[in-house]
A and B are shown apart, each in its own frame.
Chain A
Amino acid sequence: MTDPPLIQLQDVVKTLGVNRVLDGVNLSIHRGEITAIIGKSGSGKSVLLKHIIGLLEPDGGSILFEGRMRSAMGQPEKKALRQKFSYVFQDTALFDFLTVVENVSLPLAERKGAVPSEIQRRVRDKLSQLDLYDVDHKYPSQLSGGMKKRVALARALVTEPEIVLFDEPTTGLDPIRKNAVHSMISDYQRRFGFTGVVVSHEIPDIFFIAQRVAMIDEGRIRFEGTPEDIQRASDREVRNFIEGLESPRDELTGIASQSIGQQHLRQEMSRLQRHQISFSIVLMSMDNLEDIDRIAGHVASQTVFKLFADHVIQNSYVTDTCFRYAINKIMVVLPDTDEAQARSFCLKISRTMRHSALFDSFDTVRDVCFSVSAGVVQARRDSVLEDLIAAVEEGQTIFYECRK
């Protein structure tokens, strides 16, 4: 992290009415990373986001872009900076007097030198990427909440911005769409390399896509670090907040959440050390989710992932623990199982997937290729948990492939 931060907030103070909403916020946002801002409702997350984009000016402190203070910038420089940003509002803020197509094309159409055919192409691309079909000439009031969210996302991303600020982009969406939005943010970030700041309540899902997490509490940044850091944090406030929000089950797949999984792993480890009962870990990754994203959309890719998770659940025993390890990874802890048995467990899954009618439907999509890799490792008495996880991540080989 030698690069200077792209955006830096220094002792930012803001009072709205009689409330001191921000009370000396210090935060760094690095280029090409997704920073998640979490915190209780009313803790100033949205206000913080509005300061970053310049909708609100701080009462005290300063906001720096690439080391330059915004307040010291001239008008042309501020304008150039504004064009690098996009903002996804919590309540979508779609223009209710414009149709979906007009809403999405507005940021492009109002720019100098806009070419109508180019605008049309980009708008069409964005709408299809977000699974928005047959809504072109509808008005926002005729759309469902989830659709409005996606139109707002399309409008924010159509300009291909460098920095995108998301204010609770997934609130009110169903689990598949929620995960689709997360995977889309993460996928776009990889493809276009934008810098993202996401205000979110989706714990732990947001940890899968964020490189950094900042928790705001009582107008200050209470914690700043990587998702792994925050999950290990000892600060009682941080722990209470995360544990309070975290559901024991992953919403999309219905399998255990990451923290429950980690807990089981630790329990198995201590069982091994105390009673010499060995266990194995299987890590399965869907490698080519992006291909499905590209061809069939993010909702389809999340549906495939959910179907895959269903197969894993069907083939595991009650005593096994399946949990979501990352956005495209499922880890299974198999107690009292050696490596050979774990491998046959993988084979069983791959066999049922091959014979599954559900997956056949995706085979019919031309050129779709997705594969699942699996890594297997057996824990030994002298094993260290971190080494086991590293080994299982490294040793992944393709065990299922669907190709037309």
Chain B
Amino acid sequence: MLNLVTLKTPVAALGREVLVFTRNLGRLFLFFARGFLLIFQPPFQFDKIRQQIFFIGMKSVFVICLTAGFTGMVLGLQGYYALVKYGSTAALGSAVALSLVREMGPVLTAIMVIARAGSAMAAEIGIMRISEQIDALKTMDINPLRYLISPRIAAALVCFPLLTAIFDVVGLFGGYLSGSALLGVNPAFYFSRAQSSVETVDIIGGFIKSLVFAVVTVTICCFQGYYTHTRAEFGAKGVSISTTSAVVISCVLVLVTDYVLTTFLL
């Protein structure tokens, strides 16, 4: 009898975990679907969307430029030393441009926005939850998903592709700085190779990725904050764990979806 219980316990625990995971996945999907559809419910919340675009997009421009500049410079440097062995440093432009447009741009933009805006979103919504501000919205007959989540989803969908585009361009110039200005690759070769090797399909692929990352990031971050009260930890501790989970889960999911998307897009 004892043995049977010993055998059943881990299976039951596994089953419980799977059930919790599936339920959360369902809730997450519904959370996004409702938040997304409510963007289109009149009256449109232009003002709130504009504020979120400023917060997610405008305020991230500096950090994106900084990251993009150095990423491009490292790509230029590494690419140069890899290519110089084969005497084909002229291909540096295409190496840097393709890595940026297809992979580095969307992924690093998403990760930087998660670090800057995603964590803030989770913490802000989490604090609103524990201080009953979300309940207060409900008592005023204001749908909290529409008021809090929809503008953030809309803003992320606008900002992610634009930030990715900025990342790509700044990164390309970063590569030029290290590859051409420092290491002497002909700038004309660098830019013409970059232009000729990148095709529209690569850019569209990059943008699709950035849109998917926008959805993943904003949904996970808002979801973690919104359901802070369901955690075992209460108050400030709960908010801090929600924020950490939001950052970790969305970063990991960005990398996982990146792999999945790349398989389809290639």
Contact = CB atoms under 8 A, between A and B. Distances in A.
A96 interface: yes
Interface in A102-130: 106-107, 110-112
Contact of A106 (B43, B124, B127, B142): B142
Contact of B139 (A79, A87, A91, A95): A87
Nearest to B139: A87
A110 B142 contact: yes
B136 A85 contact: no
Contacts of B124: 97
A87 B136 contact: yes
Contacts of B128: 95
Contacts of A50: 135
A106 B140 CA distance: 9
B136 A93 contact: yes
Main secondary structure of the interface of B (DSSP, over half): helix
Interface string B120-131: 000010011001
B51 to A, nearest CB: 10
Interface in B122-174: 124, 127-128, 131-133, 135-136, 138-142, 147
A93 B135 contact: yes
A403 interface: no
A96 B126 CA distance: 13
21 contacts: A50-B135, A55-B138, A85-B139, A86-B140, A87-B139, A89-B135, A91-B131, A91-B132, A93-B136, A94-B133, A94-B136, A95-B133, A95-B136, A96-B127, A96-B133, A107-B140, A107-B142, A110-B140, A110-B142, A111-B141, A112-B43
Contacts of A54: 138
Contacts of A106: 140, 142
Q: Which 6 A-B pairs have the closest CB atoms?
A: A87-B139, A93-B136, A93-B132, A107-B140, A82-B141, A110-B142
B132 A110 contact: no
Contacts of A112: 43
Interface magnitude class on chain A: 20 to 34
B interface bracket (residues with beta carbon within 8 Å of A): 10 to 19
Contacts of A96: 127, 131, 133
A83 interface: yes
B135 A55 contact: yes
A391 interface: no
Given A93-B132, A95-B133, A96-B131, A83 B141 contact: yes
A89 B136 contact: yes
A221 interface: no
Contacts of A159: 140
Interface in A21-69: 50, 53-55
Contacts of A110: 140-142, 147
A223 B6 CA distance: 51
Contacts of B142: 106-107, 110
Contacts of B139: 53, 55, 82, 85-87
A91 B132 CA distance: 8
Contacts of B127: 96
A290 B191 CA distance: 80
A288 B16 CA distance: 66
Contacts of B147: 110
A89 B140 CA distance: 12
A189 B131 CA distance: 28
A118 to B, nearest CB: 16
Given A93-B135, A94-B136, A95-B128, 17 more contacts: A50-B135, A55-B139, A83-B141, A85-B139, A86-B140, A87-B139, A91-B131, A93-B131, A93-B133, A93-B136, A94-B133, A96-B127, A96-B131, A96-B133, A110-B140, A110-B142, A111-B141
